[in-house]
Amino acid sequence: MTGSSREYNESLLAISKAAGIELVEITDWNCCGATAAHNLNKELSVSLPARNLALAEFDGMEELVVPCAACYNRLVMTQHELNEDSNLKARIAEKLKMPLKNSIKILNVLQFLEKYFIPRLDELVKYPLTYDVACYYGCLLVRPNKVMHVERWEDPMAMDIIMQKLGANAIDWPFKTECCGAGFSVSKPEIVGELSGKIVRNAVGNGAKAIVVACPMCHSNLDMRRPAIESYLNKKVDIPVIYITQAIALAMGIAPKEAGIQRHFVPVNLTVNR
């Protein structure tokens, strides 16, 4: 969130500030280990996120807002696994040398927006967005559905509803939850080009003028990896990819620069009716 997805952080902080919501970072948080940990080392894949859960509890937090979809997924999976396996929980708590109740409420960015922004959108939106958009959810926010418990996990609507409330037309399309290639961005970029290419092609084919995302990996694969996508599709594609938090920022009238719109590889030429 301070590196390649810096604009996600900036836009989330900007809209929260404008809405009078204060977000506090977990003291001394660490990386969750992401795909690398669960692919190579089961224990680390649980202990790294567990440290963050324990630290958040220590800080006295009751609710955790996790903008990165990968971090969110790992934290929820960890909470789930530790609650299912008391031996594992005891072992991890001992390694952490911290108490772990493991009952903190974990929200992804869509759940956060649903809870704190949707009820107030009429008041907050100053400049409705008027174009057709494709809301792209990817994997990590909705699966595995046995743990994530997302309504309509094959055709989720949370982001679509927010975009409609901002004035945009969220198109109906079948690639909402297809995988973008995720962690292969560096090790198998040609696979990212193919999987992300199919997603972008479908969004464009269904008339979208922008793709809206809520995951840093989806964003970097659809935006920064555009050359790989274009080489798979064998043509140039200029559809921009924005974070849901940037869309809200634009609709709230926050300056595009404050929402990090200029940081994308594919230029964002979306006008707001002022």
Partner 1 sequence: MNKEDLSFKIKQSTDVNVRECYQCGKCTAGCPLAEHMDLRPSVIMRMLQSGDKEDEDKILRSLSIWLCLTCETCYSRCPMELDIPKIMDHLRQRSLAEGKVHHDARNIVTFHKSFLNTVERNGRLHEIGLVLDYKMHSGKLFQDITVAPGMFSRGKLSILPEQIKDKKGLSRLFKNQDKNTK
Interacting residues with partner 1 (CB under 8 A)? 2-4, 6, 28-31, 33-45, 47-48, 51, 95-97, 139, 143-146, 153, 178-179, 181-184, 186-189, 191, 195, 224, 262-265
What is the closest distance, in whole angstroms, from the C-beta atom of residue 189 to partner 1 in the complex?
8
Cβ neighbours around 21 below 10 Å, total:
13
In angstroms, what is the minimal distance from the CB of 144 to partner 1? 4
Cα distance between residue 86 and residue 78, in whole Å: 12
Q: Closer CB to partner 1, residue 17 or residue 42?
A: 42
Min separation Cβ 147 and partner 1, Å: 9
**Minimum distance from residue 92 beta carbon to partner 1 (Å):** 9
Q: Where are the alpha helices (DSSP H) in 85-144?
A: 86-96, 109-116, 121-124
Strand 210-213, strand 169-170: pairing = unpaired
Nearest to 12 by CA among 221, 149, 215, 182: 215
Least CB distance from residue 95 to partner 1, whole Å? 6
Considering beta carbons, is residue 165 or 219 the nearer one to partner 1?
A: 219
- Specify the residue, 207 or 265, whose C-beta has the smaller distance to partner 1: 265
Kindly report the backbone phi and psi dihedral angles of residue 35, in degrees, each rounded to the nearest multiple of 5, phi listed first. -65, -35
Write down the least CB distance from residue 3 to partner 1, Å: 5
Is it true that the peptide bond before 144 is cis, omega within 30 degrees of 0? yes
Residue 98 vs 204, nearer CB to partner 1: 98
Which CB contacts under 8 angstroms, 24+ apart, belong to 33-42? Answer: 33/74, 34/70, 34/71, 34/74, 34/183, 35/70, 35/182, 35/183, 36/183, 37/74, 38/74
Pick between residue 162 and residue 203 the one whose CB is nearest to partner 1.
203
Distance of closest approach, residue 126 Cβ to partner 1, in angstroms: 27
Q: What is the DSSP letter of 151?
A: T
Q: Looking at beta carbons only, is 165 or 225 nearer to partner 1? A: 225
- Please give the single-letter amino acid code of residue 251: A
> For the chain, give me the number of helices (H) and strands (E)?
13, 6
Cβ-based nearer residue to partner 1, 39 or 115: 39
